Amino acid sequence: MSKVKVGVVGYGVIGQRLADGVVRQGDMELVGIADVAPTLALRALAEKGMPYKLYCANPDNIPQMEAAGIPVTGTADDLLDQVDIVLDATSAGVGRKNKEIYQKRGLKAVFQGGEKNDVADVFFHGYANYEKGLGKDYLKLTSCNTTGLIRAVDCLDRLVGIERVVVTIVRRSADPGDTHRGVVDLALVEPVPNHQAKDLMLIMPHIEATGLLVHVPTTHGHIISILATPKKSISKEEVLAAFNAHPRIRVVRITDGFNSNTALFRYARDLGNPRGDMYEIAVFEETITFSGNNIFFTISVPQEAVVTPETMDAIRASLMMQATREEAVAMTNKYLGLK
Ligand SMILES: NC(=O)c1ccc[n+]([C@@H]2O[C@H](COP(=O)([O-])OP(=O)(O)OC[C@H]3O[C@@H](n4cnc5c(N)ncnc54)[C@H](O)[C@@H]3O)[C@@H](O)[C@H]2O)c1
């Protein structure tokens, strides 16, 4: 079978990682990437020898890119001519405008969490609702926080059935290098319920969810504590075994040194993972406990890389590469080295 052809539009924090993710999928081909300006990410790509073809989404800026030593293969239109599907990872809100271009071409697209839900036919999570994305033209991924949260809740839901969750999200305010958020020193509290709880209910309508969101002035990883009400009682050993068996969840121990939002990032760097990326979320083992029948535990979500696996799943669903969730996530996991 020939490989499906994928283009990535918007080569920022997420787009870089999606491009790398596509390259790792043995049944997909990255045709190229598109961006509008000579960003640091594009300068780094050029310095690395231009492993990906760059198409300029604003042709007026081609001379500026070339002056910065960034080779340009063509315009974004040239990229769109060649692909079966676009991963749109542009700045939040730009995807909606780009959708008009994709629609005119009859081209499928996957959008990221910063877009409004109505940009897509389906609000998508590879593990929780893969089948809903089958054959759909426009899919939108859950945000990084919600992707990690749903992974963990879906894992328990398939094990024992979950009726309700209450979550507290400690959210990193900015990605490393994001100076536009300013120099901050506060923990910003939002009204309940947070968008992650509302989004979880859209993807998993059988679960009642609410929760609190607190923004904190850090750049690496969200921390989420989750109180989940199971439909029948379950032991800590069973919860732990389910998390341990999940290819996109890593169980870590605070006593081993995984005691902060940055531990996972540092560990990923020590593993030699490109950019210090970690596709898995982490469950802190010592946080798993019970309040009555309710399961209480805490996870860490590496915000920059976590959506990559579910975005690969979205390509598989939209292009009907695999008919079932089990087959699709298994392919994505295999190619990303997730065991
Ligand atoms: N940063 C995160 O941790 C994170 C996590 C999950 C989801 N998301 C979502 O992913 C999306 C992208 O976020 P990001 O953090 O990568 O943003 P970013 O600002 O790092 O990258 C966006 C890129 O899009 C480019 N761009 C802007 N307009 C364009 C256009 N018309 N055509 C082509 N390229 C264009 C910009 O130059 C930039 O390089 C957003 O929807 C965001 O909410 C971000």
Which tokens hold the place of 293?
């029948």
pLDDT exceeds cutoff 80 at 231: yes
Report the atom number in ligand 1 closest to the C-alpha of 147. Answer: 6
Q: Which of 79, 90, 169 to mutate to test the pocket of ligand 1 (most atoms within 8 A of CB)?
A: 90
Q: With pLDDT > 90 as the criterion, what percentage of the chain qualifies?
A: 96
Mean pLDDT confidence for 315-326: 98
Digit-coded pLDDT (tens) for 116-175: 999 999 999 999 999 999 999 999 999 999 999 999 999 999 999 999 999 999 999 999
Digit-coded pLDDT (tens) for 135-150: 999 999 999 999 999 9
Which pairs with CB-CB distance under 8 Å and at least 24 residues apart come from 319-328? Answer: 319/4, 319/84, 319/85, 319/108, 320/134, 320/135, 321/4, 321/27, 323/134, 324/130, 324/131, 325/126, 325/127, 325/130, 325/131, 328/126, 328/130
Digit-coded pLDDT (tens) for 192-216: 999 999 999 999 999 999 999 999 9
Dist CA 329 CA 339 (whole Å): 11
> Residue 182: its pLDDT value, please?
85
Q: Which of 14, 75, 98, 264 to mutate to test the pocket of ligand 1 (most atoms within 8 A of CB)?
A: 14
Residue 297 pairs in a beta bridge with 226
Ligand 1 site, residue 141, Cβ cutoff 6 A:
no
Ligand 1 site, residue 44, Cβ cutoff 6 A:
no
Ligand 1 site, residue 13, Cβ cutoff 6 A:
yes
144 classed as catalytic? yes
Which tokens hold the place of 31?
């045709």
Place of tokens 């059935």: 161
Dist CA 58 CA 34 (whole Å): 9
Question: In sequence order, what DSSP letters do the residues of 76-99 get, joined into one string?
Answer: HHHHHHH-SEEEE-PSTTHHHHHH
Digit-coded pLDDT (tens) for 240-253: 999 999 999 999 99
Q: At what angle do helices 325-336 and 13-24 cross, to 10 degrees?
A: 100
Is the separation of the CB atoms in 176 and 220 below 8 Å?
Answer: yes
Ligand 1 site, residue 9, Cβ cutoff 6 A:
yes
Homologous superfamily (CATH) for 4-142+307-336: NAD(P)-binding Rossmann-like Domain (3.40.50.720)
Q: How far is the CA of 181 from the centre of ligand 1 (A)?
A: 15
Digit-coded pLDDT (tens) for 77-87: 999 999 999 99
Digit-coded pLDDT (tens) for 4-19: 999 999 999 999 999 9
**Domains 4-142+307-336 and 144-301 equal at CATH topology level:** no
Binding annotation for NAD(+): 35
What's the CATH fold of domain 144-301?
Answer: Dihydrodipicolinate Reductase; domain 2 (3.30.360)
Ligand 1 site, residue 59, Cβ cutoff 6 A:
no
Annotated catalytic residue, options 4, 85, 144, 170: 144
Which tokens hold the place of 58?
């604003």
Task: Note the maximum CA span of the chain.
Answer: 65
When pLDDT is cut at 50, 70 and 90, the band that residue 316 belongs to is: very high
- Output the residue whose Cα is nearest ligand 1's atom 10: 112
- Domain-wise residue ranges, the chain: 4-142+307-336, 144-301
Which tokens hold the place of 163?
């009726």
Q: How far is the CA of 185 from the centre of ligand 1 (A)?
A: 25
How are beta strands 138-141 and 122-124 bridged, if at all? parallel
